[in-house]
Amino acid sequence: MVLDSLGSSLKSTLKKIASAVLVDDSLLDESIKEIQRSLLSADCDVQLVLDLSERIKKRFKEEKAPAILSQKERLVNIVYEELTSLLGGEKEEIKIEKRKPFKIMLVGLFGAGKTTAAGKLAFYYKKRGYKVAMLGLDTFRPKAREQLKQNADNSGVDCFIDVKEKNPVKVYNKFKNDLSSYDIVLIDTAGRNALDKELIKELRDINDAASPNETLLVITADIGKSAREQAEAFADNSNIRGVMITKLDGTAKAGGALAACTVAKAKIKFVGVGEKKEDLESFNPKGFVGRLLGMGDLEALLEKASEAVSEEDAKDIQKRMLSGKFNLVDLYEQMSAMRKMGPLSKVLEMVPGMGQLNISKDQLQVQEEKLKKWRHIMDSMTKKELENPDEISVSRIERIAKGSGASTAEVRELLKQYEKSKKMIKLLKGGDPERLMKKFQGAMKRGF
Ligand code: GDP
Ligand code: MG
């Protein structure tokens, strides 16, 4: 797999965090050291790694903890977020404009993977319904044009080459009209051993003639952190808009190369992960880091983090639950507040000892429906009834049912729930969370 060793070492750190009893300073330091080691052996720049460690530490110590996340979960989430921003943060895609043709020019040094990238991108965009052509402007290296033609055939797109002409601008002008009927034209250009004057001039001339909509710098991942210098050199001397990093499949240094381009302010748009035409991925830092860390395990946590409520909100609910006074108004308010806070299962995790409850989606759905009905029922009660639910008589139950469009059984169920909640709160105050948990579990299984 791509970035195998980086992925597995980061995963093992996260596992250690997840299985720790508590997150203290020594676990935090140890985890950060492990992350540093992983990133450094992926050839990430030392300063970048130190900055990232500092941010993780600072955030963990200073950020207010959302009550829904445990300390461990919070640490894992911070690590995930910081690694994501190390690799570029938000995804930025190439937007294909309708005006034909949309020209994507591939530039880079010898062997970077430009010609291969042309084939991959052709296949990628063809699959998405675009009419794609390739244009061979690498007139420098012998056989470069034939190689491009082969890749075009392999991807099933048209290819324009002139095997005799030495001047790339002349080749462009020759085919300019033919290209106008395509949605996307992929322009292959020549490389050199380094970005020298000759290459700079050649790329400028092509750029002036063809004015590409997007110029992608193609860089191999195996140069690790020195991708930064290369990206910056190209950025200074040509108008690259983004980067494609190739050969992620064959090197342990890919992490360093990805991070380096981000510092060079060169957005990574694609990555190459093999030699075949399918081996291309549109680069999305979030998804990439997610997979690196084992998304299956992370997904639920990230969802939870994004829904997390503030500590105050949570404290408020706990306080109310623990306060002596408890009538239907409180129940109503509690229920509404819980609803605002998201799924009941998450709210329960804030109560000591309740985090392990396993409540199914169906059970929660039933609970939601009930909440809605109870709201109508309570709306039909007088203030006195709400404050003294124990004194509601049979005839009053009938009246309330009529007024709310519910059945008398449903009104009774609400009153029963009130009784149960009252008992549960007593248990909670008595500090017997185990018994409470069993009760809650039973109540949830029955749909309250
Ligand atoms: P160019 O000189 O920039 O046009 O580079 P080429 O497209 O000719 O590629 C140089 C070599 O790298 C070829 O042997 C490709 O098969 C190989 N290559 C390109 N992209 C990848 C990739 O993502 N993974 C692997 N493993 N090899 C690649
Ligand atoms: Mg080439």
The 10 Å CB-count burial string (b at 16+, else e) for 219-232 is bbbbbbbebbebbb
105 pairs with which residues across the strands?
Answer: 187, 215
185 pairs with which residues across the strands?
Answer: 103, 133
pLDDT digits (tens, 9 = 90+) for 11-42: 899 888 888 878 899 999 999 999 999 999 99
Instruction: State mean pLDDT over 219-235.
Output: 95
Residue of 147, 246, 268, 280 to mutate, ligand 1, most atoms within 8 A of C-beta: 246
pLDDT digits (tens, 9 = 90+) for 258-268: 999 988 888 99
190 CA → ligand 2 middle, Å: 6
Q: Which residues approach ligand 1 with their CB closer than 6 A? A: 108, 110-116, 191, 218, 246-247, 249-250, 272-275, 279
pLDDT digits (tens, 9 = 90+) for 101-155: 999 999 999 999 999 999 999 999 999 999 999 999 999 998 999 999 999 999 9
Q: Specify the pLDDT at position 344.
A: 53
Question: How sure is the predictor about 357, in pLDDT bands with cuts at 50, 70 and 90?
Answer: very low
Phi then psi dihedrals of residue 29, to 5 deg: -65, -45
Structure tokens at 142: 């012998």
**Residue 186: enclosing H or E segment and its boundaries?**
strand 184-188
Instruction: Give the predicted TM-score (pTM) of the model.
Output: 0.70
Give CA–CA dist 232/59, Å, rounded: 30
Instruction: State mean pLDDT over 325-331.
Output: 67
Q: Which residue shows structure tokens 């955030």? A: 59
Q: Which residue shows structure tokens 């248990």? A: 427
Give CA–CA dist 259/87, Å, rounded: 5
| Burial of 2 per CB tally in 10 Å (0-12, 13-18, 19+) | buried
202 CA → ligand 1 middle, Å: 22
Among 254, 184, 204, 216, which Cα is nearest to 115's? Answer: 216
Structure tokens at 43: 């050839």
SS3 327: coil
Strand pairing class (184-188; 242-246): unpaired
Residue 382 has pLDDT above 90, yes or no: no
**Residue 107: enclosing H or E segment and its boundaries?**
strand 102-107
Q: What is the DSSP string of 131-176?
A: -EEEEE---SSTTHHHHHHHHHHHHT-EEE--SS---HHHHHHHHH
Q: What is the DSSP string of 223-258?
A: GGGGHHHHHHHHHHHS---EEEEE-GGG-S-HHHHH
Choose between 239 and 334: higher pLDDT.
239
Cα-based distances in Å from 437 to 338, 357, 444: 17, 8, 10
212 CA → ligand 1 middle, Å: 23
95 CA → ligand 2 middle, Å: 25
Are the CB atoms for 257 and 43 separated by under 8 Å? yes
SS3 326: coil
Question: How sure is the predictor about 335, in pLDDT bands with cuts at 50, 70 and 90?
Answer: low
Domains (range + CATH), the chain:
4-86 (1.20.120.140), 102-294 (3.40.50.300), 300-446 (1.10.260.30)
Ligand 1, atom 28, residue with closest C-alpha:
275
